[in-house]
A and B are shown apart, each in its own frame.
Chain A
């Protein structure tokens, strides 16, 4: 395995990318989950697919485009999708979740039409849907590294505002925070991270990497800051373990990563319950011995 890692560039690319998204996706996922917006990741990932499909359509007629990674068009579509979602959420203030099915189904509809106009379902497209260990190129690694740096810097700078806004929007507004602007910034970051994660985990499974580690972290975290620590830890373990298994067994990378994440979530839930039980029993014993 280690020998293979040094021999094959693609394995190194996959690992670097994996480490970056194992950090990014859970971090943004924490905000998404506490804002009860985890489904937005699904809507945005599907609109990213539309961008990828559009790239493939263009690439069919233009070889220059074919040489470029489809991630750029995917990125353009997911960011536009993010802006569109924010606009819809403002239009339907009482039914904010409506933005999700609108963007999701609109994205798929358009994407499928593009796919049928291009080559249909190719291996390439299949890799985008479910993720791949072998498909990551050096171009992808560069773009994803830039996304990682940009998102990390933005999150550090606006952490306290995003935290306040997630907890209590009204008070954040009274405190004078520019909430529309912050919402926009946040959703654009989500779009960036989805584009980054797609190469490894695949469009259909991106949202899993943003929600499963967070759900598991919730079992352990005692503070908001701890949520990030645990979620990233679980995210990284899922990605790295998933990639190793996927390579060894020749399974789909996205599927394997998600399965590991589901496993860690179940373990967290069981572990938490067990600990609570033990704590209750110890407590009981202490009170009886005092009596």
Chain B
């Protein structure tokens, strides 16, 4: 298993232009196996563009991305990566699908075309639902659940293929403060107990620094990559990107919290 020693993600001098404007400039970032990286940046800082470039949904103009040591263009084992997007919050709420059906989708890529889910797969789906604590909602319609519960279902969908890397793009948008807390607890547990590598993208640093092993700050360039402790000590950075605001602004709206300047 030499492959495990490769960094999970290796971004090398990546630049992405939209028209004549640089959205991302010369980004180099490495995500080591077993780490929990929090990538923070204000709105419009290119976070989602970076994620989409990682996943091959966008093609950057220069630079390269390696996934598990393989150039992304030639990467085929997509089931090793779980992805939970911001959009999960704005899917068609009336869509008539049960929690079980939604989580099953997570296996489709791994099972492959022209094959059907067997009993073992269904068991895996149930286990993933259980892992996020949603077993009693298995047969419920996805649209009937709260934002926080839906987000758990989407995590289960990402987990069911037993990925080694989980990428979460603004997963807590539209989720209430209490659920956000238990959501982070869940991520932390996945990271520590299962050794799942996590890349969490957010504009609101919130309580994140308490859970992650690495903080990376993005605003077109990568400004910082280090431990949460180093981040907190760097006053300029935490002034710009925000800090553990829950300690300061307890009951305030999250909109004020993250220092959302573009």
- Interface residues, chain A, with chain B CB atoms under 8 Å away: 34, 36, 157-158, 160-161, 163-164, 167-168, 170-177, 218, 221-227
Contact A227 B85 (CB under 8 A): no
Query: Which B residues from 175 to 193 make CB contacts under 8 A with A?
Result: none
What sequence of 0s and 1s flags, for each residue 105-116 of chain B, a beta carbon within 8 Å of any chain A beta carbon?
110110101101
* Interface hub of B81, B91, B98, B105 (most chain A Cβ within 10 A): B105
Contact residue among B91, B101, B114 (Cβ-Cβ distance under 8 Å from A223): B101
Tell me which of B91, B96, B139 contacts A224 (CB under 8 A). B96
Contact B98 A222 (CB under 8 A): yes
Please determine whether A171 and B83 come into contact, CB atoms closer than 8 angstroms: yes
- Does B109 contact A175, Cβ atoms closer than 8 Å? yes
Distance A172 CA – B105 CA, assembled complex (angstroms): 8
When distances are taken between beta carbons in the complex, the residues of chain B under 8 Å from A225 are 101
Contact B105 A224 (CB under 8 A): no
Our pick among A34, A167, A221, A226 for the contact of B105 (Cβ within 8 Å) is A167
Q: Confirm or deny: B131 has a beta carbon within 8 angstroms of a beta carbon on chain A.
A: no
Can you pick out 21 interface pairs between chain A and chain B where the beta carbons lie within 8 Å of each other? A34-B95, A157-B113, A160-B105, A160-B108, A160-B116, A164-B108, A167-B95, A167-B102, A172-B108, A174-B55, A174-B56, A174-B81, A175-B78, A175-B105, A175-B108, A176-B76, A176-B78, A177-B113, A222-B96, A222-B141, A223-B98
CB pair B96–A170 under 8 Å, yes or no, is no
> Contact mask B237-258 → A, CB, 8 Å, 1/0?
0000000000000000000000
A-B contact count (CB 8 A): 81
Chain B neighbourhood of A163, CB < 8 A: 97, 101, 105
Residues of chain B within 8 A of A160, CB atoms compared:
104-105, 108, 111, 116-117
Q: Is B57 an interface residue, CB under 8 A from the partner?
A: yes
Chain A residues with CB below 8 A from B113, complex form: 157-158, 161, 177
Encode contact with A along B82-105: 1 for CB under 8 Å, 0 otherwise.
010101100110111110111011
Closest CB in chain B relative to A48 CB, distance in Å: 29
Residues of B within 8 A of A218 (CB): 94, 96
Query: How distant is the Cα of A46 from the Cα of B94 in the complex, in angstroms?
Result: 29
In whole Å, how far is B92's beta carbon from the nearest beta carbon of chain A? 7
Distance of A163 Cα from B98 Cα, bound (Å):
12
Q: A173-B57, A218-B96 are in contact. List 11 more A-B contacts (CB 8 A).
A: A157-B114, A163-B97, A164-B105, A168-B87, A175-B106, A176-B109, A177-B108, A218-B94, A223-B101, A224-B96, A224-B101
| A-contacting residues, B36-63, CB 8 Å | 55-57
Chain A interface, DSSP helix/strand/loop, else mixed? helix
A157–B109 Cα distance when bound, in Å, is 14
| Distance from B106 Cβ to chain A, minimum over Cβ atoms (Å) | 8
B79 within 8 A of A: yes
User: Which residues from B are CB-within-8-Å of A171?
Assistant: 83, 85, 105, 157
Cα A164 to Cα B157 in complex, Å, equals 11
Task: Give the number of chain B interface residues (Cβ < 8 Å).
Answer: 34
A171 to B169, CA, bound (A): 12
Give chain A nearest CB distance to B116 CB in angstroms. 8
Most buried by A among B94, B98, B139: B98
A160-B108, A177-B108, A177-B109 are known contacts. Are A223 and B85 too (CB-CB below 8 A)? no
Given contacts A157-B114, A158-B113, A177-B109, contact A167 B83 (CB under 8 A): no
| Alpha-carbon separation in the docked complex, A218 to B117 (Å) | 25
Known: A218-B96, A224-B96. A174 touches B108 (CB 8 A): no
Judging by beta carbons under 8 Å apart, are A34 and B141 in contact?
no
Q: Per a CB cutoff under 8 Å, which of A161, A170, A175, A224 touches B85?
A: A170
Residue of B nearest to A35 (CB): B92
B139-182 interface bits toward A, Cβ cutoff 8 Å, 1 = contact, 0 = none: 10100000000000000010000000000000000000000000
| Minimum CB distance partner of A158 in chain B | B113
Q: Are A227 and B83 in contact (CB under 8 A)?
A: no
By a CB distance below 8 angstroms, the chain B residues around A223 are 96-98, 100-101, 139, 141
**Is A174 touching B83 in the complex (CB atoms < 8 A)?**
yes
Q: Report chain B residues within 8 Å CB of A164.
A: 105, 108
- B158's closest neighbor in chain A, by CB? A171
Once the chains bind, are A167 and B55 in contact (CB under 8 Å)? no
Q: Is the CB of A224 within 8 A of B98?
A: yes
Nearest B residue to A168, CB-CB: B91
The complex places the Cα of A45 from the Cα of B78 at a distance, in Å, of 39
Q: How far is the CB of A251 from chain B (nearest CB, A)?
A: 33
Minimum CB distance partner of B112 in chain A: A176
Task: Name B82's closest neighbour in chain A (CB-CB).
Answer: A174
A177 and B56 CA atoms in complex are apart in Å by 13
CB-CB under 8 A from B105, the residues of chain A are 160, 163-164, 167-168, 171-172, 175
Cα separation A190 to B56 with both chains bound (whole Å): 30
Please report the C-alpha to C-alpha distance between residue A175 and residue B88 in the assembled complex, in whole angstroms: 15
Q: In the complex, which of the residues B87, B94, B113 has the most CB atoms of chain A within 10 Å of its own CB atom? A: B113
- A34 and B98 alpha carbons, distance in the complex (Å): 14
Residues of B within 8 Å of A224, CB to CB, are: 95-98, 101
Tell me if A167 and B97 are in contact (CB < 8 A).
Answer: yes
